């Protein structure tokens, strides 16, 4: 019988903006890991601690597809899909939680888990710590995995993992500080008030936030009415962590770090019951030394950090490298049948005897004779025709590989067709794409999506670099931004084109990624022509940008990159390039 003190919420409304080539035809939560979609692994994490009451927050247009997948994989858990309204396109995770809470579905403390988590950890330790201290909030952290010996397919880009700065009391495991490393350039300021209260305070940058949280019902009700926070991890959690010293019945202390409005709001929602007050008064437990003050110094907000076991791992599958890493773990590390599922589904039709033990073949697949499959994931409904060799590949649902193909280290998205005699190495093939017969490609992204989307995706990855705004403004100069201006100039000709191009370039540098917004003002035929022109720009502008960003300190590289980009654009399209 499961625990009844918690309800679980799985956040599955993300759009997978860091790997749009793969998620344009499939919900992010249904990306494959082993023989199951990611969300099924997330549900397994929840089931292992006995929580049975689960809400899954999804996009309205993805509800049916997600529900069909969950039904086919027999999750054996009581879940309810909660679709977000159609106007929720710009919502963050806190907005989604707020919507769920205001639907009056949350009645207890909640276990919040992201849909893209892949882990072998048992999170009972998180629940135990939360109960033990009557916590308001608790989070689980993982140690980062060592780099694995596999090659990321597609265009060569410098992927950087998200880094957090985590401040922890070494004695009590209180979580006293949490922020993204990208929010700081050099110095991190810590309140002396915190250091006095927690002298064994430790800052760490080597921890990975597992996005597994426990949130008290009281704080959930506070979140429901506090609408100034859009994201849960980036805004709401740091706010709550920073306000742990808010206490009930606090006077108007001018030196307080909490203003009157916040004090009133938090004290209203976190007020202890009479029973809780009596327990705190009578208990002999104390979590600190050095004074005779009551446990927790009377803090009504208490946040805790819990660490996974040494041999546990946790991966957030929110990028192409993470997806590859998770499937690499599945193929080469024995984690257990309950986590991975069956390696060859009984409904699969197998006519080849050359499928190694590190590969997964999902339901309703057809593997023809004279086929070799090694270290690969073959998704549901795939058809592999004769004389085909597949090594270190991930195939999504309903992929057809025709006769005589060689695929190595590729990711092939839903409903794609690889025609006969193709030779693909380290390629990414988008959803519903047909690779023509006899194609030979290495490190290419083959997709139906607009080239503008590829540029945006590249820039989204690059934007995680520290001080990217300064680097784009100071080092890029012409390689990409003026290329966009030149493309628009070639489209419109005359002053209008260069004015709009310059304005777009400025917007891109100032706001990182407003390109899609700018494009909304163009007519459809103008968009198509612009995409064709930008394709030329992209072929050299993106590598030039990457080389500049990677070198950073070498102005000679910058100069050469800009000159080559200018020469390339002038030669190929006879476009006027201005700097």
b/e string for 317-328 if b means 16 or more Cβ within 10 A?
Answer: bbbbbbbbbbbb
Q: Where are the alpha helices (DSSP H) in 309-424?
A: 320-332, 337-340
Q: Is 459 left (phi over 0), alpha (psi -120 to 50) or beta?
A: alpha
Distances (CA, A) of 171 to 1, 76, 307: 34, 39, 14
Residues 66 and 79: their CA atoms lie apart, in Å, by 12
Residue 534 pLDDT:
53
| Paired residues of 174 in beta bridges | 304
Tokens read off for 412:
């092939």
Residues 405 and 422: their CA atoms lie apart, in Å, by 5
| Paired residues of 374 in beta bridges | 391
Q: Where are the alpha helices (DSSP H) in 427-523?
A: 451-462, 468-471, 481-492, 494-511, 515-519
What residues have CB less than 8 Å from 388, skipping those under 6 apart? 368, 370, 371, 372, 401, 402, 403, 404, 405, 406, 407
Tokens read off for 348:
């699969």
Tell me which DSSP letter residue 426 carries.
Answer: S
The number of CA neighbours under 13 Å toward the Cβ of 521 is 9
What is residue 500's three-state secondary structure? helix
The number of CA neighbours under 13 Å toward the Cβ of 209 is 25
Distances (CA, A) of 35 to 396, 428, 431: 10, 20, 19
Residue 485 pLDDT:
52
Distances (CA, A) of 257 to 192, 263, 351: 11, 10, 70
What is residue 99's three-state secondary structure? helix
Tokens read off for 216:
């008290």
Are the C-beta atoms of 227 and 92 separated by less than 8 Å?
no
pTM, to two decimals: 0.72
Could you read off the pLDDT of 457-466 as tens digits, one per residue? Answer: 444 444 444 4
- Domains by residue range for the chain, with CATH: 6-217+302-316 (3.90.550.10), 342-446 (2.160.10.10), 451-573 (no CATH)
CB atoms within 10 A of CB 440: 11
Tell me which DSSP letter residue 553 carries.
Answer: S
Are the C-beta atoms of 37 and 56 separated by less than 8 Å?
no
Distances (CA, A) of 574 to 476, 479, 554: 21, 16, 29
- Burial label, 283 (beta-carbon count in 10 A; 0-12, 13-18, 19+): exposed
What residues have CB less than 8 Å from 46, skipping those under 6 apart? 8, 10, 54, 77, 111, 113
Element (H, E) at 212: strand 208-215
Residue 535 pLDDT:
54
Low-confidence ranges of the chain (pLDDT < 70): 1-3, 147-150, 157-160, 245-267, 269-298, 331-342, 449-579
Q: Which residue has the tokens 């050469």?
A: 560
């Amino acid at each position: 019988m499961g625990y009844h003190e918690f309800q679980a919420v799985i956040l599955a409304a993300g759009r997978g903006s860091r790997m749009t080539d793969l998620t344009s035809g499939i919900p992010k939560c249904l990306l494959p890991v082993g023989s199951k979609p990611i969300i099924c692994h997330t549900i397994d994490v929840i089931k292992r601690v006995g929580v049975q009451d689960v809400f899954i927050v999804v996009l309205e247009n993805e509800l049916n597809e997600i529900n069909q997948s969950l039904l086919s994989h027999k999750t054996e858990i009581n879940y309810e899909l909660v679709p977000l309204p159609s106007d929720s396109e710009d919502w963050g995770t806190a907005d989604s939680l707020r919507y769920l809470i205001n639907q009056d579905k949350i009645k207890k403390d909640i276990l919040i888990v992201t849909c893209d988590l892949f882990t072998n950890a048992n999170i009972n330790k998180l629940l135990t710590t939360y109960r033990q201290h009557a916590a308001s909030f608790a989070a689980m952290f993982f140690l980062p995995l060592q780099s694995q010996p596999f090659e990321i397919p597609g265009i060569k880009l410098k992927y950087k993992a998200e880094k957090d700065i985590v401040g922890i009391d070494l004695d009590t495991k209180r979580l006293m500080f949490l922020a993204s490393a990208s929010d700081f350039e050099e110095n991190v300021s810590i309140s002396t008030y915190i250091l006095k209260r927690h002298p064994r305070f430790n800052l760490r940058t080597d921890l990975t936030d597992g996005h597994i949280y426990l949130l008290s019902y009281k704080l959930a009700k506070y979140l429901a009415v506090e609408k100034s926070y859009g994201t849960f991890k980036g805004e709401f959690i740091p706010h709550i962590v920073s306000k742990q010293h808010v206490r009930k019945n606090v006077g108007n202390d001018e030196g307080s770090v909490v203003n009157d409005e916040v004090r009133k709001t938090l004290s209203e929602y976190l007020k202890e019951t009479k029973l809780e007050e009596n327990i705190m008064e009578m208990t002999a437990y104390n979590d600190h030394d050095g004074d005779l003050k009551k446990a927790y110094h009377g803090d009504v907000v208490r946040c805790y950090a819990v660490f996974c076991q040494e041999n546990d791992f946790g991966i957030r599958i929110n990028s192409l490298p993470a997806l590859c890493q998770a499937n690499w773990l599945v193929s080469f590390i024995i984690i257990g049948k309950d986590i991975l599922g069956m390696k060859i589904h009984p409904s699969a039709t197998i006519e080849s005897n050359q499928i190694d033990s590190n590969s997964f073949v999902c339901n309703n697949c057809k593997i023809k004779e004279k086929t070799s499959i090694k270290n690969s994931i073959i998704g549901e409904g795939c058809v592999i025709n004769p004389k085909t060799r597949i090594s270190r590949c991930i195939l999504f649902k309903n992929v057809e590989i025709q006769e005589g193909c060689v695929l190595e280290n590729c990711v092939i998205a839903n409903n794609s067709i690889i025609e006969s005699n193709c030779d693909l190495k380290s390629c990414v093939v988008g959803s519903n794409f047909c690779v023509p017969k006899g194609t030979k490609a290495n490190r290419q992204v083959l997709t139906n999506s607009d080239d503008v989307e590829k540029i945006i995706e590249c820039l989204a990855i690059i934007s995680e670099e520290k001080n990217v705004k300064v680097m784009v403004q100071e080092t890029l100069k012409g390689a990409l931004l003026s290329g966009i201006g030149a493309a628009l100039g070639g489209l419109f000709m005359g002053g209008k084109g260069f004015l709009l191009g310059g304005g777009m370039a400025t917007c891109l540098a100032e706001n990182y990624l407003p390109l899609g917004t700018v494009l909304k003002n163009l007519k459809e035929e103008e968009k198509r022509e612009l995409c064709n022109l930008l394709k030329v720009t992209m072929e050299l502008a993106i590598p030039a940008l990457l080389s500049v960003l990677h070198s950073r300190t070498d102005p000679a590289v910058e100069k050469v990159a800009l000159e080559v980009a200018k020469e390339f654009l002038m030669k190929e399209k006879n476009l006027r390039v201005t700097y």
